[in-house]
């Protein structure tokens, strides 16, 4: 994990689907729709001023883990985050089928 990572345990309401999500300190996207919010420059720093919604635009596999690619709908910034164990499998599958 990067030395710039800051663990933050924060609950949030998804800006896309409205799901209430309990944060774990590593939670960075909604487990139902997989959308996120552009709040960080480095994970956990809350230094990004954009605040736009981050659309899940792709799913890939790396070292046996699913990774979700997000793109900010406001500024176009892109990130790749590891899928969480509680992410809705059907949503991951639907998103991965868009890749192919």
Q: Which residues, 6+ apart, have CB-to-CB distance to 1 below 8 Å?
A: none
Q: How far apart are CA 15 and CA 22, in angstroms?
A: 14
Dihedral sign from CA coordinates of 10, 46, 3, 60: positive
Q: What is the pLDDT of residue 3?
A: 55
Q: Which residues, 6+ apart, have CB-to-CB distance to 33 below 8 Å?
A: 14, 16, 17, 19, 56, 88, 91
Q: What is the pLDDT of residue 1?
A: 45
User: Quick one: pLDDT band at residue 52, thresholds 50, 70, 90?
Assistant: very high
Q: Say yes or no to pLDDT of 65 above 70.
A: yes
Q: What is the pLDDT of residue 25?
A: 72
């Amino acid at each position: 994990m990067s030395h710039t990572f800051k663990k933050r345990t924060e609950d949030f309401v998804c800006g896309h689907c409205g799901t209430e999500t309990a944060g774990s300190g590593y939670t960075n996207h909604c487990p139902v729709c997989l959308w996120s919010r552009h709040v960080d420059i480095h994970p956990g720093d809350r230094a990004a001023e954009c605040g736009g919604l981050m659309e899940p635009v792709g799913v890939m596999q790396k070292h046996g883990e699913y990774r979700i690619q997000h793109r900010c709908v406001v500024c176009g910034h892109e990130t790749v985050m590891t899928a969480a164990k509680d992410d809705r499998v059907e949503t991951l599958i639907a998103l991965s089928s868009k890749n192919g």
